Amino acid sequence: MQARNRSTSSSSIPWNKGKIVGQKRPFKLQEVWAIRIRLQLASRIRGLALFDLAIDSKLRGRDLVALRVSDVAHGQSVLHRAIVLQLKTQRSV
């Protein structure tokens, strides 16, 4: 087998060159309502529920999608409060 030359060359461009990296700015109130309206008009009930929960609880995306119905409901009733541990910081929310 022939070994590949892994030296860096001037033709390789980093995937994030010119892109903004780091923490993103928070949504403005107008943007939050615009997203809610679009989800309602498209009848995306699940997306709207996840979006509202994300805004209200300040959970990260990966913590949101890891939630189960049993985390926020008991039988036929929805819990008023639920404690969720964030995966990244292990802090309760």
Predicted confidence pLDDT, tens digits, the chain (93 residues): 555 555 555 578 888 888 888 888 888 999 999 999 999 999 998 889 888 888 888 888 888 888 887 777 778 887 777 777 777 887 877
Which residues are CB-contacts of 54 (< 8 A; sequence separation ≥ 6)? 61, 64
| CA distances, 42 to each of 7, 45, 85 (Å) | 50, 9, 31
CB 34 within 8 A of CB 48: no
Distance CA(2)–CA(5), nearest Å, equals 9
Q: What are the residue ranges spanned by the domains of the chain?
A: 29-78
- Model pTM? 0.59
Distance CA 13, CA 88 (A): 30
